[in-house]
Chains A and B, each alone.
Chain A
Amino acid sequence: MSNPTQPQSPTGKSHMHLVTLQPSDVLFFRDGRPMEGSLAGHSLAWPLPNVINHAFHAALHRAGLAQAAHAHRRGRSGHYETDRDRYFGCLKTAGPFPVQNTTGQNAWYFPRPADAQQSHSTSITHFPVASLAGAPDLDPRLNSSLPGPLKYAVASAVPPTKEFKAEAWWSKKAFDAYLKGNGQVEKREFLEDSCLADVESYIGIAIDPETQTTGHGDVEGKIYTAHYLRLREKFRLGVIAEALDKGANGTAPVDLIYQLLNGKPTQILVGGQQRVCTAVRSDVNSHLPLPQGMSSGFQLNKANNKSLVKWVLLTPAIWPEIPAGTSKRGTERQYHPGGWLPNWVCPETGEVLLEYVDPDTRRQRRRLNSEGKGYSSNPAKTARLVAALIPKPIVVTGWALPNEADRTQGGAKSTHLAVPAGAVYYFEADSEAEAQKLAAALNWHGRGDFTRIQNRRSTLLGEQGFGLGVCGTWTFFPNVSERPQP
């Protein structure tokens, strides 16, 4: 819900914008790992959300928009410089997602959920197991090696196969059908990686300007391999971006994305090696092109009268380890292992510690946090994490220039392991009403009208697009006769 004190977007239904990025040629994305000799670094992957956010941040600076923008202080965790020399803290992005452009129409694609592993199908293949095979009376939690608060293991109902490889990308239509439990969709709604882009490897080598030779003198050993991403002709990087700046010196708020991409295709740099993309902005005239999660109608587990909610990540999420200590208000802060376990889930009981709050209350809480005052929260603890299906983590790194406030020496930022998109978390809620509250807290759209992103449930880098997810419902592992056929 928009704040009445803020101006309406010039033409769209929210302050968010849809932006497609079309590369001029290849793109180069890498992380902080070495890239020399035979080590190509992590130099080819679908770009992470933070990379695209940084591209927009740099583009706003390059466009000179800082002159009239609100300035922030440097620092973090309540320790701030007095000088204000940071800009564009209002920038929020989501994506990139693959977008297929066909005769002017854009179709968005999303990572395949981890619990649907069949080719050209949205059928669920992985289910939480209610009881151990051959030992229905044993508690699966107490009699297994499941980590932490988990109650049920997740098992595949189809045998493994090397014959079919499930496509990595689903269209919105396929994703919505999956969430609603609808049947088959057309094959064209599924795409493999190779449909979107190709990998190209080049060898780079320095040439000694004196001798015009390689491998000698100052350039000895200066050889590397780099992997590049070449999008196919019809594909773009799709991004949802928002930057409503409060303006400098009390001037009227300014929509920076609109200012940057003011009505015509604009070139911005994306990724490494100053690679150029053409950015095309469009308004959010109807719903955002993201899958829409379930808000009600969740399955009921008759055995314990719980409503069954699952949460599927559309983008990666980072939940760091939180050490025990004392908060700024002097209250005790409990240890949380993070990693695959969301920081808003109690590591001992699995209880969900989130509470659904309206946007105004959330804004007030952020301000209290920023001022170091904190606030009292009283989560209902009416839902519990019971199972999880987590693919291998992905590495998120970065590089920072030095600054006096919080990083006197520049260099590589901390490396985080992120839960990848497609991960599935399974919850049991005490009732349908509590399940609906949980869904409102987890769905990217909250209880909203699908025109803006309400929830980013990653502890870190949420504003850069981490932690977007959608809710569905789930059932237990089926009997043999009910299992899907490969």
Chain B
Amino acid sequence: MSDTQQNQPETNNPNPNPSVKPMQTKILYLFTRTPLHVGAGASVGAIDQPIIRERHTGFPVIPGSSIKGVLRDAMSRKEQQDADRVFGKQDAAGAIAIGEAKILAFPVRSAKGSFAFITCPLALERLRRAINNSGEQSSAVPNSGEQSFKVPSEPDDMTCLAGKAVTLERNNAKGVVLEEYKFNVKGDFPQNCEDYLLDLLEDAVWKVAKGRLVLLSNGDFAHFVRNACEVSQHVAIKPDTGTARPGALFNLEAVPAETLFFAPLTPLMRCNEEWKLLEALINNNPILQFGGDSTTGLGFCSVKLA
């Protein structure tokens, strides 16, 4: 018989130590205003400059080191000493652990409503886990203000739960057309889930997501985030002739604008006033630039800490 142990959070707690306070994670939301290229280096594939992705799901991610570098740079422009306190320096580690940003919603072309925001149970479950600080609890997110949501069950492949703004109706059948694929609509996108997601950001473009959210299976979502990212071709121009330089053609992959990421930020035990410094920075609603090619307009994001 397989020996298994059930994870039962402790209830009988005869001798807890009240001085032990858990690290309280907060979530940094990143909403891309322009395409985002966090490069994985060169490639021998069809894409010369691919983006970083999770190996097993293919979901795009922004490494914690990239986020940390951007936040440090933004803070050091105001006060270098503050940046050193929050993010560390040689022989003094930082006071905040910065996790990688995972994808939550991804824009794709839609036959109705111009575009839709797709998500999937895995992405929602990860958000729930980050908020909940645990991967072991039930699927209910604790109340945030008056709102909460449950992660919906995973729909079958080629089916979805969709908002009305992107749902087509013909002959009593409902469907959405994303890129060149038709998905049968099995129901509305859960209202409490939509409300919860829309409240995550104040960005005006994100508010347009109302009625445009589509829940796909994890596999279908993975297909789109792998194959529906932007690929732009570039070539160097010879200044004397104004023509393309031979061999200088390359293509670059980028996550499209209006993609929503979230990253857990955890103040460590030694963190005191540093957290307030970071909150002050982000609560000022900066537009931060992540990834490469800032001078050509890539990577500008709205951010929010909640």
Contacts and interface: CB of A to CB of B under 8 A. Distances in A.
Interface centre among B6, B41, B136, B137 (most CB of A within 10 A): B136
Contacts of A258: 15-16
B134 A263 contact: no
B97 A275 contact: yes
Given A202-B65, A260-B20, A276 B5 contact: no
B3 A230 contact: no
Contacts of B12: 10-11
Nearest to B63: A202
A207 B14 CA distance: 52
Interface in A87-118: 101, 104-108
Interface string B57-71: 000010111000100
B12 to A, nearest CB: 5
A84 interface: no
Interface string B22-59: 11010000000000000011000000000010111000
Nearest to B263: A25
Contacts of A405: none
Contacts of B14: 10
Nearest to A99: B5
Nearest to A278: B134
Given A107-B2, A172-B2, A263 B10 contact: yes
Interface string A379-392: 00000000000000
A24 B264 contact: yes
B244 interface: no
Contacts of B40: 202-203
Interface centre among A24, A203, A233, A278 (most CB of B within 10 A): A24
A267 B10 contact: no
Contacts of A266: 22-23
The A interface, classified by DSSP as helix, strand, loop or mixed, is: mixed
B9 A263 contact: yes
A259 B17 contact: yes
B6 A267 contact: no
A277 B260 CA distance: 23
Nearest to B76: A209
Interface stretch (A161-169, A280-288, A424-432, A437-445): A280-288
Interface centre among A198, A199, A267 (most CB of B within 10 A): A267
A64 interface: yes
A269 interface: yes
Contacts of A283: 10
Interface in B83-127: 93-94, 97, 99-100, 102, 122
B135 A22 contact: yes
B41 A269 contact: no
A94 to B, nearest CB: 14
A267 to B, nearest CB: 5
Contacts of A24: 99-100, 130, 264, 266
Given A20-B7, A173-B2, A258-B15, A267 B99 contact: no
Contacts of A129: none
B95 to A, nearest CB: 10
B172 interface: no
A278 B6 contact: no
A1 interface: no
A10 B15 contact: yes
A63 B100 CA distance: 24
A286 B52 CA distance: 44
B268 interface: yes
B23 A289 contact: no
A241 B163 CA distance: 48
A260 B3 CA distance: 26
Interface size class of A (residues with CB under 8 A): 35 or more
Contacts, number: 154
B129 to A, nearest CB: 8
B84 to A, nearest CB: 12
B270 interface: yes
Contact of B23 (A64, A173, A267): A267
Contact of B264 (A63, A265, A269, A276): A276
Nearest to A262: B16
Contacts of B99: 24-25, 275-276
B13 interface: yes
B143 interface: no
A232 interface: yes
Given A106-B4, A267-B25, A267-B133, A232 B16 contact: no
A204 interface: yes
A36 interface: no
Given A22-B135, A63-B20, A173-B2, A263 B11 contact: yes
Contacts of B153: none
B1 interface: yes
B20 A259 contact: yes
A220 interface: no
Contact of B268 (A62, A198, A233, A255): A62
Nearest to B265: A276
B185 to A, nearest CB: 27
Interface centre among A26, A212, A232 (most CB of B within 10 A): A26
A104 B133 contact: no
A260 B54 CA distance: 32
A289 B73 CA distance: 47
Interface centre among B5, B21, B61, B63 (most CB of A within 10 A): B5
Nearest to B134: A265
B227 interface: no
Contacts of B102: 25
A380 B16 CA distance: 47
Contacts of B76: 209
9 contacts: A22-B136, A24-B264, A63-B269, A107-B2, A107-B4, A173-B3, A267-B22, A274-B268, A281-B10
Interface of B: 1-17, 19-23, 25, 40-41, 52, 54-56, 61, 63-65, 69, 73, 76, 93-94, 97, 99-100, 102, 122, 130, 133-137, 264, 266, 268-270, 294
Interface of A: 10-11, 18, 20, 22, 24-26, 62-65, 67, 101, 104-108, 171-173, 198-200, 202-204, 207, 209, 212, 230, 232-233, 254-255, 258-260, 262-267, 269, 273-276, 278, 280-283, 285-287, 289
The 9 closest A-B pairs by CB, nearest first: A263-B10, A62-B269, A265-B134, A198-B55, A259-B17, A262-B16, A25-B100, A274-B97, A24-B99
